[in-house]
């Protein structure tokens, strides 16, 4: 158990709908990352938040948005869903520790199926 929690575990919805995925980082971790994992694209970085502020964006669609709240939990919002958005969505939190630098710990993921 990494200490990162994600809800819900599974989500089934229809095209055109909007969903919200939630992530709670490990205690004390200020950084939250979102990733999308699909069969054809592998694990892709979406977005990084640090202590409430957006730090970096990856291959995130304009239909997707995220935020990190004062209690450090984060939400990933996916709107106007398409069939191709079906994937596993992972959240990771991280800590910076000395020479080792930053280590990311992944949550169990949310499996999204768009029908």
Partner 1 sequence: QKEVEQDPGPLSVPEGAIVSLNCTYSNSAFQYFMWYRQYSRKGPELLMYTYSSGNKEDGRFTAQVDKSSKYISLFIRDSQPSDSATYLCAMRGSDYKLSFGAGTTVTVRA
Question: Contact positions toward partner 1, by CB under 8 A?
Answer: 2, 4, 31, 33, 42-45, 48, 55-56, 58, 90, 94, 99-109, 111
Q: What's the closest the beta carbon of residue 45 comes to partner 1, in angstroms?
A: 5
Q: Cα–Cα distance between 82 and 88 in angstroms, integer?
A: 14
Q: What's the closest the beta carbon of residue 61 comes to partner 1, in angstroms?
A: 17
Minimum CB distance to partner 1 smaller for 61 or for 79: 61
Longest pairwise C-alpha distance within the chain: 46
CA 2 to chain centre: 15
Minimum CB distance to partner 1 smaller for 15 or for 93: 93
Q: Cα–Cα distance between 19 and 93 in angstroms, integer?
A: 21
Q: What's the closest the beta carbon of residue 80 comes to partner 1, in angstroms?
A: 26
* Region label for 114, one of left (φ > 0), alpha (ψ between -120 and 50) or beta (otherwise): beta
């Amino acid at each position: 158990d990494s200490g990162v929690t994600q809800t819900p575990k599974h989500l089934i919805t229809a095209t055109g709908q909007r969903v919200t995925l939630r992530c709670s980082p490990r205690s004390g971790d200020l950084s939250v990352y979102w990733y999308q994992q699909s069969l054809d694209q592998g694990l892709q970085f979406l977005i990084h938040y640090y202590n409430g502020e957006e730090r970096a964006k990856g291959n995130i669609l304009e239909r997707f948005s995220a935020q990190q709240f004062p209690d450090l939990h984060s939400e990933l919002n996916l709107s106007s869903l398409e069939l191709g958005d079906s994937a596993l969505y992972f959240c990771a939190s991280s800590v910076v520790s000395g020479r080792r630098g930053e280590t990311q710990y992944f949550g169990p993921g949310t499996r999204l199926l768009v029908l």
